[in-house]
Structures are given as C-alpha cells and as structure tokens.
Structure 1
Amino acid sequence: MFKFKLPKKSDLVLVSLLLVLSAVILYLPTGFSETNYQNSERVKALVLETDNSLVVETGIIKTGSQTVQIRILNGKFKGKELTAYNQLIGRMEFDKYFFAGDKTLTVINLSKNKTEIISANVIDHYRINIEAFLLGLFVLFLILFAGWTGVKAMLSFLFTGITIWKLLLPGLLKGFAPIPLSLGIVALITSFIIFLVAGTNKKGLVAFFGAMSGIAITCIMALLFGKLFNIHGAIKPFSETLLYSGYSYLNLTEIFLAGIFISSSGAVMDISMDIAASQAEVYQQNNSITTKQLRKSGFEVGKAVVGTMTTTLLLAYSGGFSALLMVFIAQGTPMVNILNLNYVSGEILHTLVGSFGLVLVAPFTAIIGAWLFTRK
C-alpha cells in the first residue's frame, strides 16, 4: 500500500516539463497590478479587546462599526498595538464579528514613505495557517497512499490551480473569447493530468481523446441549450459586480456557459481514465481479444461508472444551493415557480448538460480504446 515505486524515465521527463511550465506560468505577469495596495500591508494580528458601543443590533443583524484593539504579529511592525475598525453592513454573508483572542487578517494603511501607520482595518479571521496545514496534510496522505502516483497527482493539482489563476481568469478579464479560451485551458490541463497519471502510452492517449470528446459534447450542448434557456450569466454571484468595475465588455453569458464544461471536465476525466485503464488491463491479459469484444468490455465498465457519476454531479451542485431550496420550501413556493427561476434553471442546465457529457464520454472512450489497443 505504501510502497514507493521508482519513476519511469518518461514520467521524469513529463514531471520536469510540468515543473518548468508551472514556474513560467506562475511568474507570468497577468497585467493586473496591485496599484491600489501600494501603500498598504496585510498582516496577522491578535485581537486584544473590542468596543461594540457603535454597533447597532436589530434582531440577528448587526450594523455600524466595531472598534478592535489589536497587536501585530508579523512584518516590520511586529509587536505594535493599535486600534483598527471593523465595518458591519448588516449582511451576515459578508460581515465578520471579532472577540478578544481572535487572529485576524488586517490591512494597515501606511504613509508615503511607509514608515508610519495611518489606519488599520480588520478584513477577516486569519485562516492562512490552518489552510496551509490542511493542504500539507492532504499532500502527505496522498503521497503516503499513492506513492509516485500521488506525487504526480499533487503536481497536476498545483498546475491546474496555477493555470486557472494566471491564465484563464486574467484572459477572461482581458476580453478573450470565453469558449475558445476555456477549451484551450481545459485541453492543456487535461493532457498533463492524464499523461502524468496514465503515462505517455496508449492508455493515456485513449483517456485523453475520450475526455476531450466528452468535453466537446458538453461545450456544444451548453451553447445550444444555454440559448434556449434564455439565461444571462449575471445570475452567478459577483458577476454583475464586474460590469460595474470597469469590465462592461465582458460576455458574462459565455463565461457562465464555459463554466459548465470546465466544472464537469474533472468528472469526465475520471470516467475516461476508468474505461481506458480497464481496457488496457483486459488487453494486457488477453492481447488476442477482438476490437468488438474490447469495445463491449469498455461499454460494460462505462455503464457502471456513469450510473454513480451523474448522481455525483447532482449532489455537488444541489449541495451548494441547499439553503436556497430550504427558503423556497419554508415559504411554500410552488415547484413550477422554483424550476422556472433563472438561477435555479441555471443550475438545472449546469447539472443536466454536464451529465450529458458524462454519459457520452463512456461510449466514445470505449470505441476509441477498442480501436487503439487492438490496432496493430
């Protein structure tokens, strides 16, 4: 279970290439500099005491300003104590409330020469340390369980995050066509993940072509039914804020539709990899098997995998909207009203179109695998 196998030469080449590419992308300028934060610094601080005299409580809602006495715990101002402010706008999803002993992420505004603190605002509870601990624990368990495969999976995980943060999102903000850009990014990520895990062999090739066929189908259906559903991309949280922040040229609808095949691409990869791996194993045990027989084996595996994966998508999407659905139920809203609301319809479109890609990737991968594995 915990045996660490020595990596193959092809794996080392691909891992080296991935590390170099990740480093290049990581240091690639996005074109969006932090000019608004030049005279400020983000620090970790300890709450010493709070003053809630300016906070107005109306039921469970709090508005006003909470005064917080803090001590800075890092940076060049470490140990300095000062008064910071926590503005409450009366919205629980955005407001934070602090007590003595809490650790906070605090923004301190500095003078022009950056030698004096002008003011300080507590932004949120400090979570970076626990996030880093959780990530480290995840990496540890992944490598202990999967060995070299776990190392490759972790590298692909980091590469995916870097690529989305440094290429996809800045590209969308710059006004590049969302659908082609997203397809290109997904193809890049899919190729590295699959070939890292499966290896640069026929199994990896089958899984890649199968995954891309499922993603392409999802993309086409998203474009087709997105138009028929008549849904605007502004239904997603914070989307409309972009339009008011100087990015009125963005096509929010295409960004929303691109998000459909981006979010389902991981599950599509899983299915294509499962079928490709099973066909590779069958062919390795019996290399005299015919194309028809191997295709049938792929279909049988695909049926079992698809049966659970479609439910996985439904649970993933509905779980994020459980509070919204509870509000509708509590108010006695008729089901026909709920299903016709734009943001509910958007999630239905998200789930069903993503599920179509999952269903169709199975036969496509089985057909491609049967042909490639038995091809002399």
Structure 2
Amino acid sequence: MELKNFNNSYKNKAVYILTIILSIAFIAFGYKLNKVDFALQEYSQSYKAEVVSINDITEEKIEYEYEDLSSTTIRFTAKITNGELKGTTVNASQYMDEIVAVNPKMVEPKDMILISSLTARSGVGEEWTFLEYDRTMAMVWLVVSFLLLIIVFGRKKGVNTIISLVFTCLAVFMVFVPSILKGNNIYLSSIVVSFFIIFMSLLLLNGANKKTLCAIVGNLGGLFIAGILAFFISKVLNLTGIIDDDTMFLLMLNTEKPIDLLAILWGSIVIGSLGAVMDVSMSIASAMNELAENMYDKNFKSLLKSGLNIGQDAIGTMTNTLILAYIGSSLAVVLLLVANYGDKLLLFNLEMIVFEIIQAVIGSMGILFAVPITSLFAAYIYNMK
C-alpha cells in the first residue's frame, strides 16, 4: 500500500512538472510563431504625476453650432514620478467641457494622475495636459488581494489555480490574439488554445487520474457540441460578424488578408463557454469519483443515474451564471438600444443583440451536453475493475 502511494505521488509530481514545462514551451513557441509587428501610430508618452497645488481655475464660453457651452480650465502644478523626467515639476492643465456628457473629477492636491505633453488648445506650442487618473496601484492591490484569498481558501490547490490562471491568460494574449492578428486560421487557433487550457488546467489542479480524464472528455464533448452549433447557427441566421464599430475596425488592421469576422464570433463563443463547461465537467467527475470510492455495490446504472442527478443541479446554477455574465458585460449597450429602439421586432433582429443571445444560449447548451457525456464516461471508467 505504501509503495502504491509512493508511486502515485511520484507520478503526480512528474506529471505536474511536465505540464508546467510543456505549458511554458507551448506559450513560448506559440508567441514566437505568431509574433507580428504593426506600424504603430506614434503617441506622446504619458507620465505618472502627483498633483502638488491648484494654481488657477477659469471658465469661458465656447460657441458650438447654435449654443454657447462652457469650458473650465484647471491649471495646476504636478511632480512627475516615473520615467526619465522623474522628480521634474511641471505646470499642467485639465479641461472640463460642457459638451462632454461626463467629465472626470476635478484634480486636487495629492491626486495621482497621468499627464502628457500635447499640442496646446491655442494651437501654439505644447503644454502638459491631464489624461487620466492613475489607477495602477489600486488595481494591483485588488488583484493581489484576490490572489491571496485564493491561496488562503484553496491552499495548495489555490497556488495551482493561480499558476493555471497565469498560463491561461498568457495563452490567450500571447498565442491566441497574436495568431488572429497575423491572419492565421481562427477556427484552428481557437481549438488549439482551448485544448491547451483544458488539459493544462485540469492536470495542474487534479493530476493525472480517472477524475481528470472524465472531466477532460466531458469538457471536450460539451465544447465540441457548442462549436458545431455556433458554426451552423451563424450560417442559418445569416450573420456577417459586424456587430459593432470595433469589429468594423478589425477589417482595417490587415487589408491584404482581412480578418474573418464570423470566425471571431465563433471563437468568442467557444472561448467564452470554456470555463463554465470545464466547471460542470469537473464537478460531476469529482462527485462521481467520491461516490465510486464509497459505494458498497456500485454499477454502471447507479453511477450514471447519480451523475445525471448531480448534473441537473449544476445545470441550473451554471446556466444562470453564464447568461447573467453575458448580460452584465453588455448591460450599457442593451439599455441604450432598448431606450432608443421603438421597433422591438427590429431590435431583436439586430446582429449585435442576436450575437449576445446565441453566445449565451449556445454556451449553455455546451453545459447541457457536457453533463450526460461526463456522466456516461465517468460511469464506465469508475465501474471498471
């Protein structure tokens, strides 16, 4: 028994180390393969600065079409806190125009902000101008707190969760996104990155065992169904892929080989539903593993029934989670469209709204199919002598 436990421990450590090495290799090779350079437009460099004092506040009227609108100028002194100009004190300006619906808060002493040397409003020379509030440290503390809480509550698995999260983000932003910008096949890139995330995450979190195998099979099955449905539904609904201004701008990035916008929509659905499908598959595989180890008289039928019952509970919560996540991410757009479109028939046939609906529905269908696939495979695997 002790020898068996030692072998299992050795095997899990070997798989863990190998998974990390292969993940680093995948990301490094993928980045090198897909790295693309664009002729970027030159921008004035921004600097971090601390507001030292407010020097002057003036207000003037500006003629705009048929009305006069006010413009407030706040002149202040700021001390640059980074870059080659660190320690330099400069005079800068913040403009708050009535023509803009929402202006940022008026700067105050000790505020941390971003400034840049831009063309003056008068058109003569340059002046230091307020760009944005510096939110870097607040975001860093928020992320660090989140990661610490994962470690506190998850302990060893919390550390592995952070490692898998880092690899997932690197795979998306260093492999998947560059591959699209380079003009590679988006369908293939989505599949490869999804496979990598599934295998890497589940192996790091649970090791190489039956439970992980069942979760992987269920995940791949649910994702395969979602991908097939997304492909055919986009054809049936005659989607073009142009759902907003951002997608139109994508066509201008590479005029020689334009980005396939329908493939972008497909990739969005697959990548977007990946996490939820993985969660359901792992939950069912883990619960059925506990049942199989503690069942006195286990058999395929009883294990399958238990898996489907567990899946029914997971379906309700995860489907709600997925749909609410999509609604929340596009709430401002939904409010704007509902408020301005009196023709509801046209509203619900706009490609922007249609895409949001099919993204949520097809992602949820991936969860639905992951339940029986995981349950069937787990019932077979756990019943093997």
The 3-state SS of whatever aligns with 1:43 is: strand
The Cα shift of 1:71 comes to 1.8
CA offsets, 1:211-246, max 9 Å, x none? 011111100000000111222222145222222344
**Match status 1:299 vs 2:300:** no
The Cα shift of 1:41 comes to 4.6
Counterpart for residue 81 of structure 1? 89
Counterpart for residue 317 of structure 2? 308
Distance, in Å, in 1 between the alignment partners of 2:73 and 2:19 is 48
Counterpart for residue 250 of structure 1? 259
8 A Cα contact 2:241 2:261, kept in partner: yes
**Match status 1:325 vs 2:329:** no
Residue range with higher mean Cα deviation, 13-22 or 133-142: 13-22
8 A Cα contact 2:19 2:204, kept in partner: no
**Which of the numbers 202, 219, 222 marks the counterpart of 1:214?**
222
Unmatched runs of 5 consecutive residues or more in structure 1: 1-6, 110-117
Counterpart for residue 353 of structure 2? 344
Counterpart for residue 243 of structure 2? 235
**Match status 1:133 vs 2:134:** no
Counterpart for residue 100 of structure 1? 108
Counterpart for residue 121 of structure 2? none
Counterpart for residue 123 of structure 2? none
**Which of the numbers 147, 152, 155 marks the counterpart of 2:155?**
147
The Cα shift of 1:286 comes to 2.2
The Cα shift of 1:373 comes to 1.6
Distance, in Å, in 2 between the alignment partners of 1:237 and 1:287 is 60
The Cα shift of 1:203 comes to 0.2
Query: Which letter maps to 1:171?
Result: S
The 3-state SS of whatever aligns with 1:234 is: coil
Distance, in Å, in 2 between the alignment partners of 1:201 and 1:55 is 72
Query: Which letter maps to 1:293?
Result: S
Work out which of the two has the higher radius of gyration on C-alpha atoms and give 1 or 2: 2
Distance, in Å, in 1 between the alignment partners of 2:314 and 2:70 is 48
Unmatched runs of 5 consecutive residues or more in structure 2: 1-7, 119-125
8 A Cα contact 2:92 2:128, kept in partner: yes
Distance, in Å, in 1 between the alignment partners of 2:83 and 2:45 is 9
Residue range with higher mean Cα deviation, 348-357 or 164-173: 348-357
8 A Cα contact 1:63 1:88, kept in partner: yes
Q: How does the TM-score come out when normalised to structure 1?
A: 0.83
CA offsets, 1:290-329, max 9 Å, x none? 1122111111111111022111122111122333333455
**Which of the numbers 210, 235, 239 marks the counterpart of 1:202?**
210
The Cα shift of 1:13 comes to 3.6
Distance, in Å, in 2 between the alignment partners of 1:54 and 1:310 is 54
Q: How does the TM-score come out when normalised to structure 2?
A: 0.81
8 A Cα contact 2:23 2:200, kept in partner: no
Counterpart for residue 3 of structure 1? none
The Cα shift of 1:352 comes to 1.1
Number of residue pairs the alignment of both structures matches? 360
Q: CA 1:31 to 1:208, structure 2 compared with 1: closer, same or farther past 3 Å? A: same
Counterpart for residue 189 of structure 1? 197
Query: Which letter maps to 2:205?
Result: V
Residue range with higher mean Cα deviation, 62-71 or 308-317: 62-71
